[in-house]
Amino acid sequence: MRKKIVAGNWKMNKDLEAGLSLASEVINMVADEYHGTGIAILCTPFVHLHSVSKLLAGNTKVALAAQNCSQYQSGAYTGEISVEMIKSVGATWVVLGHSERREYFNETDALLLEKTKTVLGAGLNPIFCCGEPLAIREGGEYLNYVKDQLTHGLFALSAEDFSKIVIAYEPIWAIGTGLTASPEQAQEMHAALRTHIAAHYGAEIAENTSILYGGSVKASNAKELFSCPDVDGGLVGGASLQSREFTEIVKAI
The answer to whether 118 and 164 are in contact (CB under 8 A) is no
Backbone φ and ψ of 165, nearest 5°: -90, 140
**Residue 237 Cβ, how far from ligand PEP at the closest point, in Å?**
2
5 to each of 91, 105, 161, how far by Cα in Å? 16, 27, 19
Q: Which is nearer to ligand PEP, 19 or 215 (CB)?
A: 215
> Closest Cα to residue 249, out of 82, 79, 29, 16?
29
Smallest separation, CB 248 to ligand PEP (Å): 14
Whether 48 is catalytic:
no
CB atoms within 10 A of CB 212: 28
Nearer to ligand PEP, 82 or 153 (CB): 153
Known catalytic residue at 170: yes
Residue 232 burial by Cβ neighbours in a 10 Å radius (0-12, 13-18, 19+): buried
Shortest gap between Cβ of 136 and ligand PEP (angstroms)? 17
Residues in touch with ligand PEP (CB under 6 A): 9, 170, 175-176, 214-217, 235-239
- Least separation, in Å, of the C-beta of 5 and ligand PEP? 13
Catalytic residue among 98, 100, 190, 245: 98
Instruction: Give the nearer residue to ligand PEP in terms of CB position, either 100 or 230.
Output: 100
DSSP state of 69: -
Q: Which amino acid makes up residue 142? A: Y
Residue with the shortest CB distance to ligand PEP: 237
CA dist 149 and 225 (Å) reads: 23
Q: Which of 107, 170, 245, 248 is catalytic?
A: 170
Q: What is the SS3 assignment for 156?
A: coil
Q: From residue 97, give the alpha-carbon distance in Å to each of 75, 107, 127.
A: 22, 7, 9
Rg from Cα positions in the chain? 17
Closest CB to ligand PEP among residues 30, 249: 249
From CA 166, how far away is CA 124, in angstroms rounded?
A: 12
Q: Which is nearer to ligand PEP, 154 or 217 (CB)?
A: 217
- What are residue 227's phi and psi, to 5 degrees? -85, -5
Query: In whole angstroms, how close is the CB of 213 to ligand PEP at the nearest point?
Result: 9
- Catalytically annotated residues: 98, 170
